[in-house]
Amino acid sequence: MVMFTLRRFLQLIPVFFGATLLVYFLVFATPGDPIAALSGGKPMAPAVEAALRAQYNLDQPFWIQYGLYLKNLVTLNLGQTFSGQDVSAVIGRAYPVTARLAIMALSIEAIFGVLFGVIAGLRKGKLFDGTVLVASLVVIAVPTFVLGFVLQLVVGVQLGWARPTVSGAAPWNELLLPAIVLGLVSLAYVIRLTRASISENMNADYVRTATAKGLSRTRVVVVHILRNSLIPVVTFLGADLGALMGGAIVTEGIFNVPGIGNLLYKAILKGESATVVAVVGILVIVFVVANLVVDLLYAWLDPRIRYV
Amino acid sequence: MSEKLTPETDLTKPVTPVSRQGKTSSRVIEHFVAPLEETPLAAIDNVDETAAPLSLWADAWRNLRRQPLFIISALLIVLVLVVAFVPHLFASVDPTSCTLNDSSEGARAGHPFGFTLQGCDVYSRMIYGTRASLLVGVLTTLGVLVVGGTMGALAGYYGGWIDTVLARLADIFFALPLILGAIVMMQLPAFRDNRSVWTVVITLVIFGWPQIARITRGAVIENRNADFVTASKALGLSRFNALVRHVIPNSLAPIIVVASISLGTFIVAEATLSFLGIGLPDTVMSWGNDIAAAQPQVRNNPGVLLWPAAALSVTVLSFIMLGDALRDALDPKARKR
């Protein structure tokens, strides 16, 4: 298993370089001169401009820029934004917010998704099952931003149950509404996956054996059926965690959450290559690590799966 | 040979308790035997062997015709297609002739959904917006099928270094979220200056192909060593021809299912990009653009946002339902007997 983990981390290397190179190039190719924008479009003293260009390596060709960026990365220096802040500090401020949001959304998905999925799967064809299925389809079909606006309007403005937008510190309770919006779509997928998996496993031989041994219904469902049905669900949740940790550009925009998604969106529009590439790099690492954790969870859920 | 060959005993009844020798227990033990799932030999003998066996597709079609989910979604998709091709049959008001006098007015005769901030008819814009949204969805799905399908089929069939390279390439694009990649792409000068349906389609294809590639790769791997492939090669078919003529047609089922579902998600992606202001240009009428334009007024006049959103959702929903129904029909193992 150690070898497996090591190999997965080795596989991370080409993906990391490929993704950062791709994004670095895309941002490089984006028009607009960030240095000229610093002076608000007015002409700048040539010496100052040259110094600024040299400071951000903008006077170098693309490959040297990317190489210098990588060189700094090795020493964990993520560079500076064009307004002079350390990128690591900017990310350090935004990341906890996104992490809180992601944890809340993921908990909502996991708890309610598995719960509803199990109930629907056990009562396949009944009223609850049908309702949940139709509701989940509708949620999947409605775009996130429409869902966000409607919930913001109804819960935040008309009913006044929650603040429509999140304040600067982004405490847990204010993040609840955006977390629900963020979690709803994946919640629908989790419900459908769990339901399909449960109803498939319900007729398996080992379930009949467990029932025949005289185990209680709860134990059969929770220990035997659920554990064997969780693999596809865990796969999905892992991929989703990677996506959530990358920040949700749309949801964070609607609720004004000062997280990674917001940061990324603004950085792309401003051509802040250092910030964009740093965020994408983190995103790739989180994505790969989340998938690795999922793979390791498989072995725990199903002891037949071994990694060598 | 038409006599019944199944056992005469009724197996659902408990077998009479047997007193077992050598046991002193006085407990009566009941033995239950599960009913045998057996087809009587006569039934097998009666099968007409000269009739051609049903192909997977004919079988799926027979199954689909009886599914309400499929019928509803297919009817909805046909309706959406008709609206996209001939919108003037459904709306008599010109969606581009707007008068500011009507700004944010409510519904009235001839204008069932009211007016936008610019005084345009919401219903008519919803009808005319169908074409662009659907076009993006269909073209992107076709593009993704061509790119992802080819990549996945080659990687799965030939394996080796092609597989490794393509898998890593797919990983890179997989790690970048669709929306993020699209935002960066659409900033490029070539894309920003020529914004149209095509730029949106190209962007979505570039960041959307890995999913289909994965599905295709898996399906091709499942089939590449099947007996019919070995047989076709033994009959002298080249390796590549075997892939094109036998492996791919037999791997199509899961690809079609995923393609149908992703068609819906691409329509949503277009709307999201338009919502962020980087999708279709303002001159193109689409649901996404209308939703984006309605967003600032959502607290005063939510209908302007909700109607195009509803049209979008129903369309996406019907494609997802179609995919669901197809999945059930094309997977005989999952089907209930």
Residue B263 lies in a domain: yes
**Is B42 inside a domain boundary?**
no
Rg over alpha carbons for chain B, rounded to the nearest Å, is: 28
Domain A93-301, CATH number (from 3.40.50.2000, 3.40.50.300, 1.10.3720.10, 1.10.150.120): 1.10.3720.10
User: What number of other Cβ atoms are within 10 A of residue B168's Cβ?
Assistant: 13
More confident residue, A246 or A179: A179
pLDDT of the residue at B146: 93
Residue found under tokens 């009507």: B102
Phi, psi for residue B11 in degrees, rounded to 5: -85, -10
Distances (CA, A) of B71 to A143, B65, B180: 24, 7, 36
- State what percent of residues in chain A have pLDDT above 70: 91
Q: Report the alpha-carbon distance of residue A267 to residue A27 in Å, rounded.
A: 10
pLDDT at B337 over 50: no
Partner-chain contact B272 A144, CB within 8 Å: yes
Would the ipTM clear 0.85, i.e. be above it? no
Whether B230 is in a domain gets the answer yes
Q: Which residues contact A202 (CB under 8 A, 6 or more apart)?
A: A121, A122, A225
- Tell whether the model's pLDDT for residue A197 goes beyond 80: yes
Question: Is residue B184 a contact partner of residue A276, using CB atoms and an 8 Å limit?
Answer: yes
Q: Which of B77, B191, B90 is nearest to B141 (CA)?
A: B77
Q: Tell me how far apart the alpha carbons of residues B43 and A89 are, in angstroms, rounded to a whole number.
A: 76
Inside any domain, residue B44: no
Say yes or no for a CB contact (<8 Å) between A141 and B188: no
* Size of the A and B interface in Cβ pairs below 8 Å: 111
The answer on B91 and B8 residing in a single domain is: no
**B299 interfaces chain A, CB cutoff of 8 Å:** yes
Please list every residue in chain B whose beta carbon sits closer than 8 Å to the beta carbon of residue A264. 180
The tally of domains found in chain B comes to: 2
Query: pLDDT tens digits, residue range B133-157?
Result: 899 999 999 999 999 999 989 988 8
Optimal mutation site among A149, A197, A254, A276, interface B, most CBs of chain B within 10 A: A149
Lowest mean pLDDT: which of A90-99, A114-123, B97-106, B276-285? B97-106
B321 close contact with A: CB closer than 8 A: yes
Indicate yes or no: CB of B264 within 8 angstroms of CB of A26.
Answer: no
- Percent of chain B, pLDDT > 70? 84
CA distance B165 to A279: 25
Q: Are residues B22 and B117 in the same domain?
A: no
Q: What is the pLDDT of residues A12-51, one digit of tens each?
A: 788 778 877 877 777 777 666 666 666 666 777 777 777 7
Q: C-alpha distances in angstroms, A263 versus A267, A281, B4, B129?
A: 6, 14, 76, 32
| pLDDT score at A105 | 92
Co-location of B191 and B294 in the same domain: yes
Note whether residue B50 is domain-resident: no
The predicted structure's pLDDT at residue B141: 93
Residues of chain A with Cβ-Cβ distance to B177 below 8 Å are 243, 246, 283
Q: What's the pLDDT at A146? A: 85
Domain that holds residue B143: 56-336
> Do B99 and B1 share a structural domain?
no
Q: Domain check: are B107 and B10 in the same one?
A: no
How close A252 gets to chain B, by Cα (Å)? Answer: 12
In this structure, is residue B207 part of a structural domain? yes
| Residue B39, pLDDT score | 67
CATH number for position B84: 1.10.3720.10
Same domain, residue pair B86 and B28: no
The residue ranges of every structural domain in chain A are 93-301
Q: Could you tell me if residue B270 is inside a domain? A: yes
CA distance A113 to A268: 34
Say yes or no: B149 and B183 in one domain: yes
Nearest-angstrom CA–CA distance, A262 and A278: 14
Same domain for B218 and B74:
yes
Whether residue B314 lies inside any domain: the answer is yes
Closest by Cβ to B171, choosing from A15, A27, A246: A15
Residue type, A164: P
Decide if B179 and A30 are in contact by the 8 Å CB cutoff.
Answer: no
Distance from C-alpha of A261 to C-alpha of A272, rounded to nearest angstrom: 14
Task: Determine, for residues A29 and B171 on separate chains, whether the beta-carbon distance falls below 8 Å.
Answer: no
Q: Which two tokens stand for residue B220?
A: 């091709």
Q: Is the CB of residue B271 less than 8 Å away from at least one CB of chain A?
A: yes
- Residues of A whose CB is below 8 A from B313: 138, 141-143, 146
Rounded distance between C-alpha atoms, residue B70 and residue B58, angstroms:
15
Residue B23 has pLDDT above 60, yes or no: no
Q: Which residue has the tokens 């008001």?
A: B93
Among A220, A217, A236, A238, which residue's Cα sits nearest to residue A287?
A238
